[in-house]
Amino acid sequence: MKELLKLQKYKAMEKLQCIIVDDELDSRNILADYLTKYVKNVEILASCENIETAERQIKSLKPKLVFLDIEMPFGNGFDLIEKFTSIDFEIIFITAFSQYAIQAINLSAVHYILKPIDIDELIIAVNKAREKIDSKINFDHTSVLLDNLNDLNQENKKVVLPLINGFEVVRVGEILYCEAEDNFTCFHFTSGKKALICRNLKFYEQNLENLGFCRIHRSTLVNLQFVKKYIKGKGGSVILENEKELQVSNSKKQDFLDKYR
């Protein structure tokens, strides 16, 4: 906790104005209490119980940050986003459980917090949102999120890859395979281009496995649509459409072969 609080090194800064959107009164009150007690330089402009009220308040008050519950009985958080032609505020999604939504959120590099809210995670999420606001990088990550949620074609789903000087948006169908490099992941694309991303391979395995990817080695995650051939062996190897050969570890062999049954 002490280490997380050290992240809040914001001196003489104007307060980060925010709005809370959640249908449950207790949840709104708990979040407001946590923000007031543990997160510095945050001002709560309004607390809304439905998307209609939230839409009016956001357009009127123009917050920099919105805490948005995903699951609500009369319209979910994504319905609220679709009411805006452009998003000029950061969003931190809050959800009790929605694995499909979490996968889409992770791929789109959008912030989220699981219920019940953990104070440490809340502090980290707010700081990350603040960094985006301060950097003035004008990109609507939520548009990528909505595309991912609405597009049934796996190849067209998008991944936001964080780079040192910004980010890059790529389609899943452009990714040939991913390779672990310590705590980084090297993306290899169909174009022949490569990109080194500051996230570990496990993160992408968890978020791409339902989109046609398979971990074939402790250091390799492959897009199965580009596998042309499998060569038998202790673990064996695969040949991709660009003739690249990748080793399959013995421990991952059965999982890989099961994908073709």
- Cα–Cα separations (whole angstroms), residue 208 to 14, 38, 102, 222: 39, 34, 12, 10
Q: pLDDT tens digit string along 49-86? A: 999 999 999 999 999 999 998 877 777 777 888 888 87
Q: Are 226 and 244 in contact (CB under 8 A)?
A: no
Mean pLDDT of 7-29: 79
Q: What is the model's pLDDT at position 25?
A: 94
Strands 42-48, 16-21: pairing is: parallel
- Cα–Cα separations (whole angstroms), residue 197 to 54, 132, 190, 246: 35, 18, 17, 20
39 vs 16: CA distance, rounded Å: 10
Q: What is the model's pLDDT at position 157?
A: 80
Return the CATH number of 2-146, one of 2.60.40.10, 3.30.420.140, 3.40.50.2300, 3.40.50.720: 3.40.50.2300
Mean residue pLDDT of the chain comes to: 84
Task: Please classify residue 74 by burial: count the beta carbons closer than 10 Å to its beta carbon, then call 0-12 exposed, 13-18 middle and 19+ buried.
Answer: exposed
- Cα–Cα separations (whole angstroms), residue 196 to 110, 178, 183, 239, 244: 20, 10, 10, 23, 19
Name the token pair of 85: 């032609």
Sorting pLDDT into bands at 50, 70 and 90, what band is 260? confident
Instruction: Specify the residue for token string 């050969």.
Output: 245
Q: pLDDT tens digit string along 182-215? A: 889 999 999 999 999 988 999 999 889 888 999 9
Specify which of 7-21, 99-113, 154-168 reaches the highest per-range mean pLDDT.
154-168
67 vs 62: CA distance, rounded Å: 13
CATH 2.40.50.1020 in the chain: give the residue spans.
Answer: 151-258
CATH 3.40.50.2300 in the chain: give the residue spans.
Answer: 2-146
Task: Determine the distance from the C-alpha atom of residue 144 to the mean position of all C-alpha atoms in its chain, rounded to a whole number.
Answer: 10
Q: What is the model's pLDDT at position 109?
A: 61
173 vs 212: CA distance, rounded Å: 10
Q: What is the model's pLDDT at position 236?
A: 94
Classified by CATH at the fold level, domain 151-258 comes out as: OB fold (Dihydrolipoamide Acetyltransferase, E2P) (2.40.50)
pTM of whole model > 0.85?
no
Q: Please say if the pLDDT value at position 18 is more than 90.
A: yes
Q: What is the model's pLDDT at position 59?
A: 94
